[in-house]
Chains A and B, each alone.
Chain A
Amino acid sequence: MKHGMKITTTGTGLLMFLVIWQLLAWIIHRPILPSPAEVLPIFFRLLFGELGLHMAASAGRVVSAISLALIIAVPAGLVLGQSRSLNRIFEPLIAIIYPIPKIVFLPVIYLLLGISDLSKIFLIAIIIFFQVLVVVRDEAANLHRELILSVRSLGAGRRGLFRFVYLPATLPAILTSLRVSVGTAIAVLFIAEQSLTTHGLGYYIIVETYQVLRYPEMYAGILAMGFLGVTLYFIINRFEFYFNRHLRLDDE
């Protein structure tokens, strides 16, 4: 995305979304699609009750997974980007695993890590891990040798290069890949939360509401999950906008 999303754009989008929803609710006119006028009050009421707790559980899992993925993927990508021989060893493996939809590993992870929060976090983390690993590796490998040498000649050692070259060079790409993969991450979380847990929005939407026909609450849950995705997206987008100023020179 070239421009940072403006508040007015967000507002207009939200309004259009609600209007279309309302229209559909009028047209279908059945309990399976309650109108926003019915759902929104429930959403805000539940947000400070059980829905809020489920949302906090989901958000906690996503944020932990993002952190876990970044902590491992960024240093690993930097190492691979700087070492041609290491990259030659790992590249085929990464190329094979990268396109696999990671959700198929769900049962394997349950078997190996047990049925715990950690398994769900781990599953989402590996989705983000590969996205970030690949971009960090490529960005680090594409840095001009002269740039590295000249920064070294100014006194930077390994830590200095990380702080002044590799980190700022890869940050915009890290944020872009995060923004793109966070949607997939939440989708996978939704599926992973439908079983073997008693908290999280996936559990709330499927087990607590959908299966027992509590439709307005179900829509409130869907709103909460959408809200979670949009919020994460915009937070990352804000950082991205700040850190890629030099890539937006034509706009000025």
Chain B
Amino acid sequence: MIAEVKNLTFTYGKQPPVFENFNLKIQRGETVSIIGPSGCGKTTLLHLMAGLLRPKSGKIVIAGSPVFRPRPQTGLVFQDHGLLPWATVLDNALLGFRIRSFYGPDGRHALEESRTDKDEAMRRVNRWLIKLGIDSLINKYPAQLSRGQRQRTAIARTLALEPDILLMDEPFSALDAAIRENLYDLVMKIHRESALTVIIVTHNIDEAIQMGKKILVLRGSSNRQSHYIENHIAGLSDYQNRPEFKILRKELRVLLNE
């Protein structure tokens, strides 16, 4: 098991709790889609797991240790705006390593044992830039890129740090269908190759089915228990033609509309 949410309670200010005694378990190497309408707390859950927010009570354990702050081995990709506008693709992709060397291997901001020298950082970043097909753009600024290219840069930046868990918050919703398909395939390929645990937040039912071997449905304002749906057609190239697809889709619609 890589991630466990135990008795999580979380509230924004004086509003009713978003999560109340919420529990969740995620196995290593799984892909999990988190789906729900806006305001259901799916992004909140992701931020809690990323250590960007703190639970009011309960705890989140990732790879055996409770999360109090962003941990170096957790990767996070946002929908947009995650890149530094004043830095080139290369500088953006190197940002994680720059931050690590800025702090040194202190165990808080960077891993304790790992000290990546500049050449090694460059090699790792380059490998991902090539893999994501953006190695010819290294001197461009984010404003000169398409949305798809920007998202590839953000993914390269995150994966170059070799995370053991990848959290994605609506990473493809601003993209055109063709580019979206292409990036789905890419992420699923990376997942298969490295057994990376991928958690993806989405409001799109098809996307949830395509990406998540497990689909977590969040529904209301106070989430108490997790509705987990097993999904055996995730990651298949012809998932839309499988008989299960329509059944799953219907099931999810019903759950989301309740």
Contact = CB atoms under 8 A, between A and B. Distances in A.
A181 B62 CA distance: 51
Nearest to A160: B99
B78 A160 contact: no
Given A160-B109, A246-B86, A249-B144, A154 B79 contact: no
Interface stretch (A59-67, A144-152, A225-233): A144-152
Given A149-B47, A154-B95, A154-B157, A164 B143 contact: no
A150 B50 CA distance: 10
Given A154-B95, A246-B143, A168 B86 contact: yes
Contact of A155 (B72, B83, B86, B144): B72
Contacts of B81: 144, 146-147
Contacts of A151: 84, 95, 99
B96 interface: yes
Interface in B45-63: 47, 50-52
Contact of A150 (B76, B98, B110): B76
A146 B80 contact: yes
Contact of A153 (B70, B84, B87, B98): B70
**Residue with the greatest number of chain B CB neighbours at <10 A, chosen from A146, A159, A172, A245:** A146
A155 B103 CA distance: 9
A149 B78 contact: yes
A156 B102 CA distance: 9
B99 A150 contact: no
Contacts of A154: 70, 95-96, 99, 157-158, 161
A164 B74 contact: no
Given A146-B81, A246-B143, A156 B52 contact: no
Interface centre among A151, A152, A155, A169 (most CB of B within 10 A): A155
A152 B47 CA distance: 11
A45 interface: no
B52 A155 contact: no
B141 interface: yes
A214 interface: no
A165 interface: yes
- Scoring B50, B75, B84, B143 by chain A CB atoms within 10 A of each residue's CB, the highest score goes to B84
A107 interface: no
A169 B86 contact: yes
Interface in B147-167: 154, 157-158, 161
A155 B100 contact: yes
Contacts of A165: 84
Contacts of B161: 154
Nearest to A163: B102
Nearest to A252: B144
A164 B102 contact: yes
A245 B143 CA distance: 12
Residue of B69, B75, B141 ringed by the most chain A CB atoms within 10 A: B141
Given A153-B76, A155-B96, A164-B99, A249 B109 contact: no
Contact of B102 (A144, A160, A245): A160
B111 to A, nearest CB: 9
Interface string A100-116: 00000000000000000
B82 interface: yes
A151 B87 CA distance: 13
Contacts of B96: 154-155
B16 interface: no
A99 to B, nearest CB: 30
A25 B113 CA distance: 75
A153 B95 CA distance: 11
Given A149-B52, A152-B52, A164-B95, A157 B154 contact: no
B82 A155 contact: no
27 contacts: A146-B78, A146-B81, A146-B82, A147-B82, A149-B76, A150-B77, A150-B78, A150-B82, A151-B99, A152-B70, A153-B70, A153-B75, A154-B70, A154-B157, A154-B158, A155-B96, A155-B99, A155-B103, A155-B109, A157-B108, A159-B102, A159-B103, A160-B99, A160-B102, A160-B103, A160-B109, A164-B84
Interface of A: 144, 146-147, 149-157, 159-160, 163-165, 168-169, 172, 243, 245-246, 249
Interface of B: 47, 50-52, 69-70, 72, 74-87, 95-96, 98-100, 102-103, 108-110, 141, 143-144, 154, 157-158, 161
Report the 8 A-B pairs with minimum CB-CB distance, sorted nearest first: A150-B82, A153-B76, A144-B81, A155-B109, A146-B81, A246-B86, A154-B96, A146-B78
